[in-house]
Amino acid sequence: MNQYLIPANSKRSMLILGLFEKTDLIIFGTGIGLTIFMMLIFPKETMQDLLVIFTPFMICGSMVLPVPNHRNMWQLTAHVYQFYSNRRKYYWKGWCVGYVEEAREDAK
């Protein structure tokens, strides 16, 4: 009998180092590159200057940090960005819309 078992971590074998996808490495590399560029351009006199310089590295590093369900964190980040970057115009029609229109007609 030929019975094959599929290991529980078979999908991890498709990842780079078993943890990262290509997009993760591109994002992390961009953060490192931007940080190195900022280190060459900006003066490093105070602690605040260093914090500003290392911000791209810290943000990109936290985005690709291999935590459980980090794809869910990607989705959350995308939704938060979409919420704050798009215009928000809400059209609300609740249960009292008919009541408000009737009250306006009665007031006339």
- Kindly report, residue by residue over 41-85, the tens digit of the pLDDT: 988 888 998 899 999 999 988 888 777 766 677 778 888 888 888
Q: Which amino acid is at 16?
A: I
Q: Tell which residue, 65, 67, 39, has the closest CA to residue 53.
A: 39
The yes-or-no verdict on residue 11 having pLDDT over 70 is no
Q: How far apart are CA 36 and CA 74, in angstroms?
A: 25
Say yes or no to pLDDT of 24 above 70.
Answer: yes
